[in-house]
Structure 1
Amino acid sequence: MVEPARANGATLPVAGGEITTEWFVGPIEAATQDVNACGEETGAEPPPPRRSEELPPLFRLIPYLRKQLTLDRFATAALACLSIATLLAIWYFGTKYRFEFYIRFKNVPTPVEVLEQASQVGLSQKYLINVAISLRRILMGFFIALFIAIPLGLMVGRYRLARDLSMPVVEIMRPIPAIAWVPMSIMLWPNNEAAIVFITFIGAFFPILLNTIHGVRSLDDVLLRAGRCLGASEAQLFWNVILPGSSPHIFTGLSVGMGVAWVSLIAAEMISGQFGVGYFTWEAYSLVNYPAIMFGMITIGALGLICSGVIRLIGAQAMPWLAYSHGSKK
């Protein structure tokens, strides 16, 4: 028989006898008392874990940087630096030793001379005004081309009637280089500023239009039939199927169009402009200032690189699914 609870603890029957609960309750109570005493000594409970929002801004950037600075990105940056360093090395040694073998480096300024020119002109008011005016012209012409070419390309790629009406005119005007439009644009528009923006628009318009048409035409018909089976209207098909499906081609056209727009803008500024990076470069040529010519060329390349990089960045944010598509990573 098991006796009722004793003063010091209850007893439990076990094989071969009985055991009191003090055998395992006692150490647990002692440990609990030690924990309580520790809390009384410190005077407060242990602090809760710190949330990321309460961390300083610099520490909150660490997880983001760990995610972004992957081995592939580091290798890409290293290869880009290597290619630029190779180009600079060819320029440096070619101008240092005055290399002449069909290609002549005799009159080409050295990197040191161009750097000195940049330190003298780079922060001057005249140079900054020229850069600002070129940026204003390129953005105006490019965005006008964007807002016209993308809707038109979607319509032409989607509907046969629009394609039959517009493609003959497009194919006739597309081979005409933007520089050939300079005399006609001067006669068409009331001032040189509008003429230069129009030439920039011409340079960006056709690459954006043709890539948009190609994106719509290459869209899988299964996606369109699936949308119709789910009850999507024509407007919903455009917004949810056609536009996302053709977005990679559209952003390719935007990137190519930005490059062609810069080429067209610089040519127009050299011929009929009074301000801008192209005019700055042509003026340096007229004054036989070779370091300024090279500095103007570097400025054009840097501005084009920044504009194309912004387009690629926007495209990556607008199309996150491409990071997981087949062929996006090699």
Structure 2
Amino acid sequence: MSAMLDLTGRQRPVATDSAQKDSATVRGAPTRRYTRRVAAILLFVALWQAAVHIHLSLGFVTFANVPSPADAIPALWTLLHSPKLPMHLAASITRVLAGFCAAAVVGLGLGLAIVRYALLEDLLMPPLEMLRPIPAVAWIPLAILMFPSSEISMMFVTFIGALFPILLNTIHGVEAVDQRLIATARGLGTNSLSLYTEVILPGAAPSIFTGLSIGMGTAWFCLVTAEMIAGQYGIGYYTWESYTLQNYADIVVGMALIGVLGMGSSMLIKRMGAALTPWYRRNGARR
């Protein structure tokens, strides 16, 4: 860094050519990564198209009867002009948001309480750990019996799917907060509420947002499972209905929509987390 005089006569640093090049490199890195990611998706689609075209068979898997991306394009165009598309999207998004928001509230609240009180940890964690490995599809018959409305039962399945990633990441995030920060805050006379809002939650926020992002993806996964059995509208119902009607290209369209919606909602939560935790940065810049 060199220096020059400003209008007040004081010296101010001036970036050298090397520093300017580094800055330009950092600015260009996101563009390169975005280009690589788009290229990776295009390459995947091209390989898929080629495998279907040559009827690739590896013995344990064959692409002879799999719809190709070229077959899915007309099906996607038809769905985009279908009057049922808004109803499918509205039904799925409403179910996911309801289940996810409930899971976020319960998961965050339980996670903070379990770390704070050993009695709650002893009473709640054993049954929660027993429930956690149960797959979403196993909850569907019980949810139908528990709730009089099929809509509520599907929301419950998405709630179950999103709950455990949020809960466990909240617990791990709070436990990972530096104890020296907590001891220092208590030594300065910080009350319990301020300790949580100003020390513990900011320290655990990166892990919490990771759990929220994973929980959103799991909620979409569980919703599709629920809609295949108990739904009348929704992307999962559309995908399963396409299979029963042997509209195989529509299956690909439904899967693609689920992937786009799940990826987009998870990315939105990650961006929100990055915006709300400006003090947190990963160690080392990746290019």
2:150 maps to which residue?
192
Percent sequence identity over matched residues? 42
1:328 deviates by 5.8
1:179 deviates by 1.1
Helix, strand or coil at the partner of 1:256: helix
Structure having greater relative contact order (Cα 8 Å, sep ≥ 6): 2
Label 1:216 to 1:328 Cα distance change in 2 as closer, same or farther (>3 A). Answer: farther
Q: State the alpha-carbon separation in 2 of the partners of residues 221 and 277 from structure 1.
A: 46
CA RMSD of aligned residues (A): 1.7
1:84 maps to which residue?
41
Q: State the alpha-carbon separation in 2 of the partners of residues 172 and 96 from structure 1.
A: 46
Q: State the alpha-carbon separation in 2 of the partners of residues 322 and 314 from structure 1.
A: 13
Label 1:88 to 1:78 Cα distance change in 2 as closer, same or farther (>3 A). Answer: same
8 Å Cα contact 1:158/1:217 also seen in 2 = no
1:210 maps to 2:168 = yes
2:20 maps to which residue?
none
Q: State the alpha-carbon separation in 2 of the partners of residues 129 and 307 from structure 1.
A: 19
* 1:133-148 aligned within 5 A: 133-148=91-106
Label 1:313 to 1:214 Cα distance change in 2 as closer, same or farther (>3 A). Answer: same
1:329 deviates by 4.5
1:95 maps to 2:34 = no
Pick the aligned partner of 1:294 from 252, 277, 280: 252
The structure number with the bigger radius of gyration is: 1
TM-score by length of 2: 0.88
2:194 maps to which residue?
236
1:159 deviates by 2.4
Q: State the alpha-carbon separation in 2 of the partners of residues 296 and 223 from structure 1.
A: 48
Q: State the alpha-carbon separation in 1 of the partners of residues 199 and 267 from structure 2.
A: 26
1:326 deviates by 2.7
Instruction: Write the letter of the residue equivalent to 2:207.
Output: H
1:16-67 CA deviation, whole Å, 9 max, x = no partner? xxxxxxxxxxxxxxxxxxxxxxxxxxxxxxxxxxxxxxxxxxxxxxxxxx99
TM-score by length of 1: 0.77
1:70-128 CA deviation, whole Å, 9 max, x = no partner? 21101210220121022111111011111112221111112121001111112311122
1:269 maps to which residue?
227
Q: State the alpha-carbon separation in 2 of the partners of residues 153 and 196 from structure 1.
A: 24
Question: Structure 2: which 5+ runs fail to align?
Answer: 1-22
8 Å Cα contact 1:144/1:201 also seen in 2 = yes
1:147-183 CA deviation, whole Å, 9 max, x = no partner? 1110110111232222112111211111111110000
* 1:115-130 aligned within 5 A: 115-130=73-88
Instruction: Write the letter of the residue equivalent to 1:138.
Output: V
Label 1:248 to 1:227 Cα distance change in 2 as closer, same or farther (>3 A). Answer: same
8 Å Cα contact 1:158/1:216 also seen in 2 = no
Question: Structure 1: which 5+ runs fail to align?
Answer: 1-65
1:326 maps to which residue?
283
